[in-house]
A and B are shown apart, each in its own frame.
Chain A
Amino acid sequence: EAGVAQSPRYKIIEKRQSVAFWCNPISGHATLYWYQQILGQGPKLLIQFQNNGVVDDSQLPKDRFSAERLKGVDSTLKIQPAKLEDSAVYLCASSLRGTLNTGVELFFGEGSRLTVL
């Protein structure tokens, strides 16, 4: 079974430039997540999609970050304009809806490392 695919793996940009990350989740997974992981910290949820719809984007800096999930499959995360503090690994994850006993297990991609100079 193919895992979560992300691209690019690495990106270096200057502040105020824009960048876009792409994610292809595991086939059949309705829920897709974008997490931001800053060095030395745990992943922080930016946005959660259920099929096409946004479930939670409360921690997404909407003045500069945007995300979409067209047709309920692939997703893109865009940052425009980038700031120095956006340097992080951007992790995409997908999941099946869990049950009370099994819960939700997220499957992560390898991440996209962004460096803003």
Chain B
Amino acid sequence: DQQVKQNSPSLSVQEGRISILNCDYTNSMFDYFLWYKKYPAEGPTFLISISSIKDKNEDGRFTVFLNKSAKHLSLHIVPSQPGDSAVYFCAASDQGGSEKLVFGKGMKLTVNP
């Protein structure tokens, strides 16, 4: 049973355009959501997060939107840069529970120069 779903395995965008990465979750107990970025042969690195008490969090070129009623979140990257090319993982946790992170399968973003 996949609690965090990233239904699109890949996305290709032009440099300077917007990249939108989507994520859906099924567990209503999740109250904290994170995006991780992973380059080949490296461990995932934290990118941005959002608590369920908010619907938007912005950090430079990265913005995460949370729609709790739809159990959906998205990551917007504007403008996209070639260095953003990586695999992006959506993750969620239940802060009131074990705090363990549950990850989606990941989505490969390619930003073309």
Residue-wise, chain B 53-91 has the 8 Å CB interface mask toward A (1 for contact) of: 100000000000000000000000000000000000101
- Give every chain A residue within 8 A of B36 (Cβ-Cβ): 108
Q: Which residue of A lies closest to B45 (CB)?
A: A108
Range, interface on chain B: 20 to 34
Smallest CB-CB A-B distances: 8 pairs? A108-B43, A42-B103, A103-B32, A104-B99, A42-B105, A43-B103, A110-B43, A108-B44
Besides A42-B6, A45-B100, 16 new A-B residue pairs in contact (Cβ under 8 A), listed by A number: A35-B103, A42-B104, A42-B106, A44-B103, A48-B100, A91-B44, A93-B43, A98-B95, A103-B34, A104-B93, A104-B95, A105-B46, A106-B101, A108-B43, A109-B43, A110-B43
- Asked whether any CB of chain A lies closer than 8 Å to the CB of B4, the reply is yes
Separation of A43 and B90 alpha carbons in the complex (Å): 11
Q: Which residues of A contact B112 (CB under 8 A)?
A: none
Taken together as a complex, chains A and B put the C-alpha atoms of A37 and B99 apart, in Å, by 19
Q: Which residues of chain B come closer than 8 Å to A110, judged between CB atoms?
A: 41-43
Chain A residues 49-72 with CB under 8 Å of chain B are 55-56
A107 lies within 8 A of B34 (CB): no
Across the interface, which residues of B come within 8 angstroms of A93, CB to CB? 43
Q: Which A residue sits closest to B6, measured CB to CB?
A: A42
- The DSSP consensus for interface residues of chain A is loop
Q: Is the CB of B51 within 8 A of A101?
A: yes
Given contacts A105-B34, A106-B46, A111-B43, are A33 and B100 in contact (CB under 8 A)?
Answer: yes
Is A40 an interface residue, CB under 8 A from the partner?
A: yes
Residues of B with C-beta under 8 A to A97: 99
Neighbouring A residues of B100 by C-beta, 8 Å: 33, 45, 48, 55-56
19 contacts between A and B (CB under 8 A): A35-B103, A41-B106, A42-B4, A42-B104, A48-B100, A55-B98, A55-B100, A56-B98, A93-B43, A98-B95, A100-B51, A103-B95, A104-B93, A104-B95, A104-B101, A105-B46, A106-B101, A108-B45, A109-B43
Q: Are A45 and B101 in contact, CB atoms less than 8 angstroms apart? A: yes
